[in-house]
Amino acid sequence: MEMNELTPHLEELKRVLENKVDEQQLMEDLNTYINVYHLDMDAAKRGIVRKYGGNSIGFVTAEAVSKKIGDLNGSEQNVDILAKVVFSEKKEVVARGEKKTIVSGILGDETATASFTVWDGSSCELEKGAVYNFKNAYVKMWNDRVQIHIGNRGVIERSETDIQLPERNISYSSSETKIGDLREGIGNVTVTGRILTVETRNITVKGEQKTVYSGLIADDTGKVQFSAWNDFGLKEGETICVTNAYIRGWKGIPQLNIGDRSEVSRVDDAFLDADIGGSSTKTVGDIVRTGGGLDITLSGTVVDLRMGSGLIKRCPECNRSVLNNECVSHGTIVPKLDLRMKVVVDDGTGAISAIINRECTEKLTGITLKMATDLAKARGETEIIAKSMAEKILMKHIKIRGNVMSDDYGPMMIVKETDLDPIDVPAEAAKLLETVEGSI
């Protein structure tokens, strides 16, 4: 199929994915699925939507249905919701290097409450306590909770309907949770761990100076950053039990907050035989469940080398990757060359994106920066570097270690250590045979 025949389908993909994916990348994917994999158009579009975290029912163009918040299941792509604004705030975010105004907060009706985001909030004014009809919204799940999104197809209309919100039953009971199981949004947790680091910093909150005590705390399942808003006399190396803490997140990485209602007590060290502070080994399935984390190790097979891999240019001031010698922060610059790989690693429980730096790239592929630079000059192109890397890394089993963040596109690891992780094929075959025979 010719490129001009793909254009109408490209526009539909952009609409369903709400322009969150680069148009050139979508066209490349569509061309590959149709002209290389020879899928039919419907299967190709649905596969691409799933690849970027969308939902294939976004292609349904029927009229929206109306639902109560308590009836939402997290898969709705075209739904009308009549709800009261419990809380809202307008803020600036940076998306793809550009500043954008969004409105977020909490909506409620007679059945439940849920968080919401209006992605074009520049002209959106929502009054606290007022009722609105949010038309053509879509709904996603995050940490087992529904989130309501109003994109570029959404419409918000003021309503005179009276909505009485249900009484809130607030519980202050605290549940004991391992650090490796912490995830953004949960509250009233009890955590026991050893303090690895602690430091103080001064911040300004509502015009007042406040001291925050922050650092790392770990148990035998992982480590997490913490922030204490009162002076609990925390010291490096001691083991503490924190009750009534709550979890916030930054790009999917959980952060333990020790607030005014929290209590801190010293306990006997229960981790004397455990590797406290070391990297925690997880599967992709574990990571998807918790959203992200610090210092995680996983093993899997490299199934894709993505665009942006190979020989790249960076700003010498801020180290951002740049195109056409233009940095979004420093303007026209004389770039420095660097190597990196953007790979997809699959471990059987799921797939994760990973960004691998120059040092680790050279280690895995044997291609050094000088070799890449010389080859690019000799060929008069840089694309040859990524092709050479792909030949050396695709379908190789590797072990990677780093911090994992999550966003709308799924989890991504910033790799700080990596190595090839050869599979013992005879041993794995024997294990598989034993499993199969045991199930017969």
* Residue 223 domain flag: yes
b/e map 237-253, b = 16+ CB within 10 Å: eebbebbbbbbebeebb
pLDDT in tens, 66-113: 899 989 988 888 899 999 999 888 888 776 667 888 998 899 999 888
**Boundary-marking domain end, from 275, 310, 344:** 275
Q: Which domain holds residue 326?
A: 284-425
Q: Are residues 293 and 414 in the same domain?
A: yes
Q: Does some domain include residue 118?
A: yes
pLDDT of residue 388: 95
- Regarding whether 318 and 266 lie in a shared domain, the answer is no
Find residue 198's DSSP bridge partners.
Answer: 215
Domain annotation covers residue 155:
yes
Q: Are 295 and 225 in a shared domain?
A: no
CB neighbours (10 Å) of residue 52?
Answer: 17
Residues 288 and 417 in one domain: yes
Can you say how many angstroms the Cα of residue 227 is from the centroid of all Cα atoms in its chain?
A: 21
Residues 154 and 227 in one domain: no
Residues 35 and 82 in one domain: no
Q: Residue 256 is part of a domain; what is its CATH number?
A: 2.40.50.140
Residue 369 belongs to some domain of the structure: yes
Residues 297 and 417 in one domain: yes
State the pLDDT at residue 56. 46
Between CA 254 and CA 181 the distance in angstroms is 10
Q: Are residues 239 and 206 in the same domain?
A: yes
Q: Could you tell me the two tokens for 145? A: 């909770």
pLDDT tens-digit profile, the chain (440 residues):
676 677 767 777 777 777 778 888 888 888 888 887 777 777 787 788 878 876 544 444 345 688 999 899 888 888 999 999 998 888 887 766 678 889 988 999 998 888 999 988 888 899 999 999 999 899 988 756 789 999 877 899 999 999 988 765 444 556 788 998 888 777 788 999 999 999 998 887 667 788 899 999 999 888 999 999 889 999 998 999 999 888 888 777 889 999 888 899 998 876 766 667 778 899 999 888 888 889 999 999 999 999 999 999 999 999 988 888 888 888 899 999 999 999 999 999 999 999 999 999 999 999 999 999 999 999 998 999 999 999 999 999 999 999 999 877 788 999 999 999 887 778 878 888 888 877 77
Distance CA 316, CA 357 (A): 16
Evaluate whether residue 431 is within a structural domain.
no
74 and 45 in a common domain: no
What tokens does 426 get? 């005879």
Residue bearing tokens 């010293």: 266
Q: How many CB atoms neighbour CB 28 within 10 A?
A: 12
- Pick the last residue of a domain from 15, 44, 59: 59
Domain assignment present for 437? no
pLDDT value of position 199:
93
- What does the pLDDT read at residue 97? 66
Q: Is residue 216 part of a domain?
A: yes
CA 336, distance to chain mean position in Å, is 29
On whether the CB atoms of residues 31 and 13 are closer than 8 A, the answer is no
Write down the pLDDT at residue 337: 94
Residues 324 and 400 in one domain: yes
**Residues 303, 393 within the same domain:** yes
pLDDT at 82: 95
The pLDDT value recorded for residue 59 is 45
How many structural domains does the chain have? 4
168 located within any domain? no
SS (H, E, C) the chain: CCHHHHHHHHHHHHHHCCCCCCHHHHHHHHHHHHHHCCCCHHHHHHHHHHHCCCCHHHHCCCCCEECCHHHCCCCCCCEEEEEEEEEEEEEEEEECCEEEEEEEEEEECCCCEEEEEECCCCCCCCCCCCEEEEEEEEEEEECCEEEEEECCCCEEEEECCCCCCCCCCCCCCCEECCHHHCCCCCCCEEEEEEEEEEEEEEEEECCEEEEEEEEEEEECCEEEEEEECCCCCCCCCCEEEEEEEEEEEECCEEEEEECCCCEEEECCCCCCCCCCCCCEECCHHHHHHHCCEEEEEEEEEEEEECCCCEEEEECCCCCCEEECCEECCCEECCCEEEEEEEEEEECCCCEEEEEECHHHHHHHHCCCHHHHHHHHHHHCCCHHHHHHHHHHHCCCEEEEEEEEEEECCEEEEEEEEEEECCCCHHHHHHHHHHHHHHHC
Token pair 């240019």: residue: 313
Same domain, 113 and 235: no
Residue ending a domain, among 159, 190, 207, is 159
pLDDT at 168: 52
